[in-house]
Structure 1
Amino acid sequence: MSTLARDLTREVDHVFARLMVRAAGDDNDRAFASMIATRAAGGGALPAWLGLDQADFKRLMAAHFPGISPDVLGAADGASPILANRLNERAELLELLLTYRAPSVPSAPWMAQIVASGCMASDHLWHDLGLWNRAELTALMQRNFPELAARNVYDMKWKRFLYKQLCEADGLAVCRAPSCGVCVDYADCFGSED
């Protein structure tokens, strides 16, 4: 492991531990802490404040990590804003997620906004969100959007699954996969089956 990778891992671990010490005990605390810590260390692909507006990010921090300053992410410098030509796409994903949110999970609307923002990036959704593995994303989807998650019976990659749901809602039989051309696993998904 390179020195840079070790430093990044150390920073993620430090911020994550700091957050989890103050966690409110909600089921989404760990996922939010992973995303915040990864973003604070410069990882993942979420825009500033995880794709929430600044006021909602402050409310998320107060609800899930009371006593921790929302400035844990640092300045918004280096933020990767959502491109204007993709705002409609993000809005459609957000509407899909909000339609299937678990009413018993108070932070599900924030999670919907964050997941929709993560879909705008070009890698696997769990990686773009700053989660540490795909299992964390699956648990997040099952917890926050259980009815939607239950429809993923073939364990399709989550970003692809969400876009497929949009296409099916529009009556499209064939759906372009999101960001496939730049995905690191493109050859695995679209390569020879030999």
Structure 2
Amino acid sequence: MAIETYRWLVAGGYGDPFDRHVFACALAVAIADPLRPPAVALGLSAECLAAVAGRYFPHAPGLLAGLDPDEDGMAAQAIEEPDLRSLLIANGSCGSVEEAWLAHIIARRSLEPNHLWQDLGLSSRGDLGQLMRRHFAPLAEANFGDMKWKKFFYRQLCQAENIVICKSPVCEQCDDFRVCFGTEDGASLLGHSHPAEVRPV
């Protein structure tokens, strides 16, 4: 089960506890994907995926067994993916390599059908909020109204191209307010029982 993979990764991993949790969630979801290799599921090159595993999960060399070293998971799977990736990288908190990895992962997982926190394998939307505040602070500050993250990302991309997509200039008066700002309830794709499994700093 994916949750067992997650627990195995975080139990023996290294590095910052919260970042280790985030990468373990993403890796566990990707490994459980029956249709795509992990690099493609996460939008990373094989080299970057190996670097993530080496930094946070050196106890799990079998994690990448059978990985094609030439697998190009970074090839865009949607026309907006490179722009979203660039938006995230441009708004990184400190320009770390972790932020570059996360920008690729978030951009790829944003193409999935569930809430973004679910498709990242996180335990709650609160995890995603902490991730954004920690690694993409300018975007977290810009999303002061707590818009759903996928909606917020695409609004940022449209505004950059001077494309008007909102029905009203004032969010609170828009008929789609609940669509953009409503709750993001649901179960974790990994089966996290509750946020207590998260070990934030």
Pick aligned residue for 2:151 from 138, 152, 160: 160
**Structure 2: how far apart are the matches of 1:123 and 1:141?**
18
Is 1:142–1:149's contact at 8 Å kept on the other side of the alignment? yes
Is 2:43–2:75's contact at 8 Å kept on the other side of the alignment? no
> What SS class does the counterpart of residue 80 from structure 2 fall into?
helix
> Deviation digits for residues 149-190 of structure 1, max 9, x if unmatched?
1110111100110011111111222269xxxxxxxxx9x629
Q: Are 1:14 and 2:4 counterparts?
A: yes
Q: Percent identity?
A: 31
**Structure 1: how far apart are the matches of 2:77 and 2:53?**
30
Partner of 1:56: 48
- The alpha-carbon distance between structure 1 residues 73 and 101, as it changes in their structure 2 partners (threshold 3 A), is farther
- For 2:56, the aligned partner's letter is H
- For 1:25, the aligned partner's letter is G
5+ residue gaps, structure 1, are 1-10, 177-185
Partner of 2:58: 66
**Structure 1: how far apart are the matches of 2:26 and 2:146?**
22
Q: TM-score, normalised by structure 2?
A: 0.70
**Structure 2: how far apart are the matches of 1:85 and 1:25?**
31
> What SS class does the counterpart of residue 52 from structure 1 fall into?
coil
Q: TM-score, normalised by structure 1?
A: 0.72
Pick aligned residue for 1:122 from 86, 106, 113: 113
- The alpha-carbon distance between structure 1 residues 19 and 73, as it changes in their structure 2 partners (threshold 3 A), is farther
Is 1:40–1:72's contact at 8 Å kept on the other side of the alignment? no
Q: Are 1:37 and 2:28 counterparts?
A: yes
Higher helix share: 1
- If asked which structure has higher relative contact order (CA below 8 Å, sep 6+), I would say 2
Number of corresponding residues = 164
**Structure 1: how far apart are the matches of 2:145 and 2:128?**
15
> What SS class does the counterpart of residue 7 from structure 2 fall into?
helix
Cα RMSD after superposing both structures = 3.1
- For 1:57, the aligned partner's letter is L
Partner of 2:80: 89
**Structure 2: how far apart are the matches of 1:136 and 1:56?**
23
